[in-house]
Amino acid sequence: MRAQHYLGPRRPLVLADLPTPRPTAGQVLLAVKACAVCRTDLHVIDGELADPKLPLVPGHEIVGVVIEKGAEVEKFAVGDRVGVPWLGWTCGACDYCRGGRENLCDRARYTGYQIDGGYAEMAVADARYCFALPAQFDDVGAAPLLCAGLIGYRTLRMAGDGNRIGIYGFGAAAHIVAQLARFEGRTVFAFTKPGDRDAQDFARALGVEWAGGSDEAPPEALDAALIFAPVGALVPAALSATRKGGTVVCGGIHMSDIPAFPYALLWKERSLRSVANLTRKDGEEFLALAPKAGIVTATRRYPLAEANTALADLRAGRLDGAAVLVP
């Protein structure tokens, strides 16, 4: 099968011809239909995350059809369409797993990081971590739900029930979470790179109340801010836009250093927290909600062979929504 191979930090992916993977007893073998490109893939390829397998097939927003399954798989049948997210395996035994926080499992393994992912014609996945996908989404449209959507959902939940939600970094996750927040009756304020009119217009087209640069103050103080851009300087910016008692949630896996800031920005019971990974419960909740909320994903498709172009476009901010690779 053809697959894109990551061989080491800051090297372009290489299109390789690899043996077809074989499913073990608990795995499904998938014919990949689409795999969205996530900013985390850039962090892996840039060597910013510590523990990738090498060589590695990246990609953790996989839509595929089951073409073979291991003897123990009962959840899916051959022919079923499934989604494979970032969370690929957990131990089931550590305090976090037993306490309903498998996203923090001490021994977790992640798709497209420690497990070969979906930048390929075929992939294997542990069936217990795969999701059924809502029929309303086609293959390309469903792919960004599997990380941008899921992590966006968890990030919004961690922000609490406040009405005025600020979103810093208006890419794949933001464009989904903005639709979800609007469906829940909230008011959304979008912050982009200063001067990025295209991203601000894209946000306005999704019904946000206000769109501006991350160096601007919103017209009203925020109840909560979600940060999806990997820029530590946005943390004090978001805190200063957030009202007393509000919450700032960092949704990314990696961020540049957060600059020192006056304690007064945090004082008056503002909270600052991160979101890490996902639980299967998040996935089930979000994938049930996405069609009800009428979420429409904005995608740009690329042939599998052009993965490096898709990554470059993401890095340069040339995308509205998500890049999706199609084998």
Interface residues with Zn ion (CB under 5 A)?
Answer: 38, 40, 90-91, 94, 97, 105, 147
Closer residue to Zn ion (CB): 45 or 241: 45
Residues in the chain: 327
Closer residue to Zn ion (CB): 150 or 265: 150
Shortest reach from residue 234's CB to Zn ion, in Å: 18
What distance separates the 2 farthest-apart alpha carbons in the chain? 58
Shortest reach from residue 109's CB to Zn ion, in Å: 10
Task: Find, among 222, 230, 267, the residue nearest to 246 by Cα.
Answer: 222
Closer residue to Zn ion (CB): 90 or 187: 90
Q: What angle do CA 153, 155, 156 make, to 5 degrees?
A: 65
Shortest reach from residue 304's CB to Zn ion, in Å: 18
Closer residue to Zn ion (CB): 90 or 155: 90
Closer residue to Zn ion (CB): 120 or 241: 120
Shortest reach from residue 147's CB to Zn ion, in Å: 3
Shortest reach from residue 244's CB to Zn ion, in Å: 33
Shortest reach from residue 283's CB to Zn ion, in Å: 13
Shortest reach from residue 293's CB to Zn ion, in Å: 20
User: Tell me, what DSSP letter sits at residue 145?
Assistant: G
Closer residue to Zn ion (CB): 223 or 282: 282
Left if phi > 0, otherwise alpha if psi is -120 to 50, otherwise beta: which for 23?
A: beta
CB neighbour list of residue 316: distance below 8 Å, 6 or more residues apart: none
Give the C-alpha separation, 322 to 85, whole Å: 15
Contact 270, 242 (CB under 8 A): yes
Closer residue to Zn ion (CB): 237 or 325: 325
What values do phi and psi take at 224, rounded to 5?
-155, 150
Closer residue to Zn ion (CB): 200 or 299: 299
Block residue for tokens 């089951």: 66
User: Tell me, what DSSP letter sits at residue 249?
Assistant: E
Shortest reach from residue 96's CB to Zn ion, in Å: 5
